[in-house]
Amino acid sequence: MTNTVRISGSLRNRLMITLISGSAILGIILFFIVRGYATQIAQDGQDNILKASLSSILDAATIQDGLVEVDFPYASLSMLDTDLDDRVFYAIYQDGILLSGYKGLPAPSSLTGETRTFQTIKYKGTFARVANANRILVGERGRIEISVSVAQTQDDLSRTLNSISKNVAVFGAGFFILVAALSYLATSTTINPLMRLAASIKKRGPKDLSPFEKEIPSEMVPLVSSLNRLMGRLDLSLKQSEDFIAEAAHRVRTPLATVRSYADATLQRVSKSENREALRSMVRAIDEASRAASQLLDHAMITFRTDHLQKEYIDLIDLVQDLALRLSPIAEMKDVKILVNHKNPVEIHGDFILIQNAIRNLIDNALKYSPNEAIIKISVGSEPTPYLKIHDEGPGFPPDDIQNLTLRFTRGKNANGIIGSGLGLTIAKDVANAHNGRLEIFNHKKGGACAILSF
Amino acid sequence: MKYLLVEDNHELANAICSRIKFDGHVIDHADKLEDAIAYSNTGEYDLIFLDIMLPDGDGRSFLKHHRDQKKDTPIIVLTARSQVSDRISLLDLGADDYVTKPFDHAELQARCRAVLRRKAGTAQTILQFGDVAFNPLAGQLSIRDKMVNLRNRELRLFELLLNARGQIFSKQKLIDRLFSLDEDVSENAIEVYVGRLRKHLEDTSLKISTHRSLGYRLDDD
Amino acid sequence: MRYIIVLVLIFITYSLNAEEWEDQRIFSSGSTNQTLRILSSTDTSFFEPILKSYLVDNPATKIEYLVTGTASLDKIFRNTPEKYDLVISSAMDLQLKLVNDGFAIKIQDSNHPSWAKWRKSLFAFTIEPAAIVINKRAFANQKIPQSRQDLIKALRSRSKFFQNRLGTYDVRKSGLGYLFATQDARTSETYWRLMEVMGGLGTQLYCCSGDMIDDLISGKIAVAYNVLSSYAGARKKVSDEIEIILPADFPTTMMRTAMVSKLAPNVENAKNFMLHLLKTQLKPADKNNYTLPPLLLKPGQQTIILEPALMTYLDKLKRQTFIKEWERAIIQ
């Protein structure tokens, strides 16, 4: 019974995706924050050097004989040397007019007092950081404003930032991988109880509809309690339908019994042979129907029960002798003798009802196929494993399809005239399999059918 | 023999009763639990046939009541439930045997005999015909105080002829009575059984005579 | 060599660009389709072996080698950078400023030591200290000075002898002379004392090393200060009149540098030439074949560092101040 289940994503995947995408976003945010911070620090570093350079140039400004002289030290530009040999530009203005240095650098707006500004500009085809500052010199001819711009390209800064970015990216990726691994673990841990629940339900036999009683996380309580309620209802309806089947069987059997009894009684009074034959046919049909119903019910019961064995220790000899006694009235009708042969006690661990049913079916078969005044030999032993052997004096199994006889509804070709449903051997075999045992059927060398049920 | 049938289905009860009576036995019929208890309290029965599903209760409670009162009348349950578990619980409750509906009358008779034979120790009725002594409950025949080992069918043939001494039984009638309905038996089989029985009864007061084209008859000299 | 390089030597009597070249020569090995124009301050004789060896591997190339002074070189190139493929100069400060101003392209070269290049654009390929060169006869029976202090003492002790017989670069005209002067001044006050002494004795000022060495050999002057040792060494092979002294107090050491113009007409070829030049100069084994000193730093030797600070003395104000002071010392 496989119903297609409609699948809409996976809980595990959804959880994983949420956690992983969350960590990815966190990683990216982390990357940008750290990178931003690093940029600011690196920029501050560059600005500080530019500021120092600027100050050393401004400090060198003097008025000599009424003329401005800026004899700035070698170190003013030397300090701007970097590993990647960044380009350096500078300009010196006197009252806004370029005195020396590069043209086109942003001149600081004329301000009173000394101020410093930093900005990033595009200059000579590249980005450069510019620091501006000015200073007032007072000479004989009045106030002179000296302003200086010092600029430096950002190659080294970019390289530093790139290397930081790379490291941060590696760190971020590592963080991401770690979080992803943790997500996987967390997801597995979260999903596990669900998997265990599923596995434990899967393991159950079809008749096991008892509520799920293991401890579960609180989030699963609604699921499990509805599952339990569903199973409760299922259990109830299954029991009801079983009762219904039994009831139906009962309802059918009673009228059948009436008809059969009347037929039986009528036969005693009828002597015309065609009437007698009709009555006998009727009786056979009824017997066939009732036996088939019995075995079908038995087979269904066995199928359910093999999934859920109720094992106990069984004295096999006791069981066989009791069955032989129960069946002796029928055996006597044909003057058939059932001999039970045994030596030592034989005990097996199994489901009593199933094993009794299997053996009963085997003895029934032997009885049905035995000729009048025959003997059915049953031997019970425990070597090498517990076994039961039934040997009759009947015609034996048809050699051609001996392998198929244990299949459902397969009857021997010599079964004509003998009432049966073809389920007897199937039931015996199913029971044997459920107990890790086996059923062997073969024809005895000296004639007659032989069946060995071993556990 | 005196039987009590407890069965709520009147049709089935009629059929069973008429079949039992045909064999020359007495049978009472109760169609509900209350009546069944009343019958069993007043009458002495050799055997009780008990249906399980009754309109005013469960046959199992009759079984329990019966055994609680220490009555040893054998009970054969007629059940419509074929499942193994049902059958086992019936035996546990004190039924002596059960037959599943619909049943073969020959099987029912066989089971009755088996049950009665088991209970035979208590009441002994022995029929004596000259050198021949017969215990119908135990199904034992002895000739000149010597037990004769009769096969089941020989015994039943003897019983049949003995119960209706002087009456001629056709071969057909004997087949109907001795064999299950689902067995195909030829008339020769009857001749074999009659021949064996005659041999056992040689030199006794009981004789089986052949009446050509009519059948056989047991005569008591 | 498997085949003979045809050296075409052309003397140009007039300049197409109206430039006054000190020297202008074309090197070619026959069939040519590309002309590499090299603007240089290095005498042709020093560069010839390298140019020739390049032509062996690149026969399709013709090289036009143009020589001028460092200061005019800087001016010419700044005006027409699209006309030249390579710029070679001994004036490190001017070269560095050219690169800083964005005139050069970057060349990927992993072998070249980092101290000998700037921005992967400016490559140094020689190590050449500035030297005190003397006329041996002038110091006959005299102790030969080994440092600037020694020289000052010697000049003072024989001031009459040295009167008007001293020479040095005119830093106003020579870029290299200015570089040496500023680096000397930056390093020690001794420079100014020497300049004052030399100024007091009357000093000849030269635009170029060549003239200075000529006058030294002829005996017109007895001492030349801050002469390129490589040039002097080359001349010493011919005339044994002179002695080259590397000052023991501090040798000012220059590196000749080369760059490929950003607007070079033959960028790839120019790059190849550059790599060839660097490779050759880094291989001291072939020393004998080449006249240029290799890029080989002796232990403890220091050179003028390639750094932005080289631009300090190129600053207009700084230059004015320095020239003013220098003139005050040397021209009295």
Kindly state the helix (H) or strand (E) to which residue A178 belongs, with its residue range: helix A155-203
Chain A / chain C CB contacts < 8 angstroms: 64
The predicted pLDDT at position B120 comes to 65
Picking from B30, B86, B87, the residue whose alpha carbon sits closest to that of residue B62 is B30
- Residues facing A368 on adjacent strands: none
What whole-number distance in Å separates Cα of residue C226 and Cα of residue C184? 10
Pairing of strands A116-123, C86-89: unpaired
Same domain, B132 and B115: no
Q: What is the mean pLDDT of residues C251-266?
A: 95
Same domain, B90 and B159: no
Same domain, C249 and C262: no
Domain boundary among B119, B151, B167: B119
The predicted pLDDT at position A86 comes to 94
Q: How confident is the model at residue A115 (pLDDT cuts 50, 70, 90)?
A: low
Q: How confident is the model at residue A141 (pLDDT cuts 50, 70, 90)?
A: confident
Nearest-by-CA chain A residue for C320:
A69
Per DSSP, A157 falls in state: H
What whole-number distance in Å separates Cα of residue C243 and Cα of residue C222? 10
What residues of chain B lie within 8 A of the CB of A326, using their CB?
Answer: 97
Identify whether the C-beta of residue A331 lies closer than 8 Å to the C-beta of residue A376. Answer: yes
What whole-number distance in Å separates Cα of residue C285 and Cα of residue C289? 9
Identify whether the C-beta of residue C122 lies closer than 8 Å to the C-beta of residue C290. Answer: no
What whole-number distance in Å separates Cα of residue A282 and Cα of residue A263? 8
Question: For residue A111, which phi and psi values (nearest 5 degrees)?
Answer: -130, 150
Same domain, C168 and C29: no
The predicted pLDDT at position A46 comes to 93
Picking from A306, A418, A416, the residue whose alpha carbon sits closest to that of residue A358 is A306
Q: Write out pLDDT tens, residues C56-110.
A: 888 889 999 999 989 899 999 999 999 999 999 999 999 999 999 999 999 997 7
Q: Write out pLDDT tens, residues A158-169.
A: 998 889 889 888
Burial class (CB in 10 A: 0-12, 13-18, 19+), A109: exposed
The predicted pLDDT at position B24 comes to 78
Same domain, B168 and B101: no
Same domain, C219 and C294: no
Please answer yes or no on whether B152 and A249 come within 8 Å at the CB atom. Answer: no
- Residues facing A373 on adjacent strands: none
Touch criterion met for A and B (3+ Cβ pairs within 8 Å): yes
Same domain, C185 and C277: no
Picking from A334, A341, A343, A398, the residue whose alpha carbon sits closest to that of residue A367 is A334
Q: What is the mean pLDDT of residues A1-11?
A: 70
Tokens representing B146 are 């010597």
Same domain, C188 and C61: no
Question: How many angstroms separate the first and last alpha carbons of chain A?
Answer: 31
Of A142-156, A188-202, C148-162, C280-294, least confident by mean pLDDT is: C280-294
Q: Write out pLDDT tens, residues B165-183.
A: 888 888 888 887 777 766 7
Tell me the residue type at C130: A
Number of domains chain B contains: 2
What residues of chain A lie within 8 A of the CB of C100, using their CB?
Answer: 87-89
Residue C95 counted as domain residue: yes
Which of A252, A254, A356 best probes binding to B when mutated, by most B CB atoms within 10 angstroms? A254
Q: What is the mean pLDDT of residues A213-239?
A: 83
What whole-number distance in Å separates Cα of residue C66 and Cα of residue C88? 10
Q: How confident is the model at residue C6 (pLDDT cuts 50, 70, 90)?
A: very low
Same domain, B91 and B156: no
Please answer yes or no on whether A333 and B180 come within 8 Å at the CB atom. Answer: yes
Q: How confident is the model at residue C1 (pLDDT cuts 50, 70, 90)?
A: very low
What whole-number distance in Å separates Cα of residue B160 and Cα of residue C221? 173
The predicted pLDDT at position B83 comes to 63
Same domain, C77 and C104: yes
Same domain, B115 and B154: no
Q: What is the mean pLDDT of residues B66-87?
A: 78
CA of A179 vs chain C CAs: smallest distance (Å): 41
Same domain, C81 and C143: no
Tell me the residue type at A318: D
Cis peptide before A398 (omega within 30 of 0): no
Question: Which ranges in A270-314 belong to alpha helices (H)?
Answer: 273-306
Domain boundary among B64, B99, B119: B119
What residues of chain C lie within 8 A of the CB of A53, using their CB?
Answer: none
Question: Which ranges in chain C belong to alpha helices (H)?
Answer: 44-57, 70-79, 92-100, 148-157, 159-162, 175-187, 190-201, 209-218, 229-238, 267-281, 316-330
The distance from CA A29 to its chain's CA centroid, rounded to whole angstroms, is 34
The distance from CA C188 to its chain's CA centroid, rounded to whole angstroms, is 22
| Residue A38 three-state SS | helix
Q: Write out pLDDT tens, residues C192-241.
A: 999 999 999 999 999 888 889 999 999 999 999 999 988 888 888 888 88
Q: How confident is the model at residue C254 (pLDDT cuts 50, 70, 90)?
A: very high
Q: How confident is the model at residue C9 (pLDDT cuts 50, 70, 90)?
A: very low
Tokens representing C238 are 């011919």
Pairing of strands B206-211, B146-148: unpaired
The predicted pLDDT at position C17 comes to 47
Q: How confident is the model at residue A239 (pLDDT cuts 50, 70, 90)?
A: confident
- Strands (DSSP E) contained in B89-126 are 97-100
Identify whether the C-beta of residue A249 lies closer than 8 Å to the C-beta of residue B82. Answer: yes
Mean pLDDT of chain A: 83
Pairing of strands B2-6, B47-51: parallel
Q: Which residue has the tokens 């004899």?
A: A71
- Assembly ipTM: 0.86
% chain B with pLDDT above 70? 92
The predicted pLDDT at position A210 comes to 76
Instruction: Considering only the beta carbons, identify the residue of A286, A329, A333 that sits closest to B102.
Output: A286
pLDDT of A411 strictly over 70? no
Same domain, B177 and B196: yes
Can you give the residue range of the structural domain that contains C219? 129-253+313-330
The predicted pLDDT at position C288 comes to 59
C14: Cβ contacts below 8 Å, ≥ 6 apart: none
What residues of chain A lie within 8 A of the CB of C305, using their CB?
Answer: 81
Number of domains chain C contains: 2
The predicted pLDDT at position B143 comes to 85
Kindly state the helix (H) or strand (E) to which residue A11 belongs, with its residue range: helix A11-59
What whole-number distance in Å separates Cα of residue A415 and Cα of residue A398? 10
Q: Write out pLDDT tens, residues B113-151.
A: 888 877 765 556 778 888 888 887 777 888 888 888 888
What whole-number distance in Å separates Cα of residue A338 and Cα of residue A297? 27
Same domain, C138 and C232: yes
Q: How confident is the model at residue C322 (pLDDT cuts 50, 70, 90)?
A: very high
Residue C156 counted as domain residue: yes
Residue C146 counted as domain residue: yes
Kindly state the helix (H) or strand (E) to which residue B11 belongs, with its residue range: helix B10-22
Task: Choose the most confident range, by mean pLDDT, from A145-149, B2-6, C256-260.
Answer: C256-260
Residue C10 counted as domain residue: no
Same domain, C215 and C325: yes
Q: What is the mean pLDDT of residues A368-393?
A: 88
Q: Write out pLDDT tens, residues A250-306.
A: 677 788 888 888 888 888 778 787 888 888 888 888 888 877 777 777 777 777 777
What whole-number distance in Å separates Cα of residue B121 and Cα of residue B138? 8
Q: What is the CATH number of the domain that holds B87?
A: 3.40.50.2300
What whole-number distance in Å separates Cα of residue C178 and Cα of residue C91? 9
Q: What is the mean pLDDT of residues C148-171?
A: 94
Please answer yes or no on whether A101 and C101 come within 8 Å at the CB atom. Answer: no
Same domain, C88 and C220: no
Same domain, B96 and B15: yes
Can you give the residue range of the structural domain that contains B15? 2-119
Please answer yes or no on whether A253 and B83 come within 8 Å at the CB atom. Answer: no
Q: What is the mean pLDDT of residues A135-153?
A: 89
Instruction: Considering only the beta carbons, identify the residue of C99, C118, C321 that sits closest to A69.
Output: C321
Task: State the virtual CA torsion across C190, C193, C194, C199 in degrees, nearest 10.
Answer: 160
What residues of chain A lie within 8 A of the CB of B18, using their CB?
Answer: 265
Same domain, B17 and B91: yes
Same domain, C111 and C192: no
pLDDT of A92 strictly over 90? yes
Nearest-by-CA chain C residue for A80:
C308
- Residues facing A439 on adjacent strands: A453
Same domain, B175 and B159: yes
Same domain, C47 and C108: yes
Q: What is the mean pLDDT of residues B37-49?
A: 86
% chain A with pLDDT above 70? 92
Same domain, B134 and B207: yes
CA of C108 vs chain A CAs: smallest distance (Å): 13
Please answer yes or no on whether A257 and B102 come within 8 Å at the CB atom. Answer: yes
The predicted pLDDT at position A230 comes to 87
What whole-number distance in Å separates Cα of residue C320 and Cα of residue C313? 9
| Residue A145 three-state SS | strand
| Residue A222 three-state SS | helix
Question: For residue C217, which phi and psi values (nearest 5 degrees)?
Answer: -65, -40
Q: What is the CATH number of the domain that holds C244?
A: 3.40.190.10
Chains with 3+ CB–CB pairs under 8 A to B are A
Domain boundary among B94, B119, B144: B119
The predicted pLDDT at position C8 comes to 36
The predicted pLDDT at position C307 comes to 94
CA of A52 vs chain C CAs: smallest distance (Å): 14
Chain A / chain B CB contacts < 8 angstroms: 130
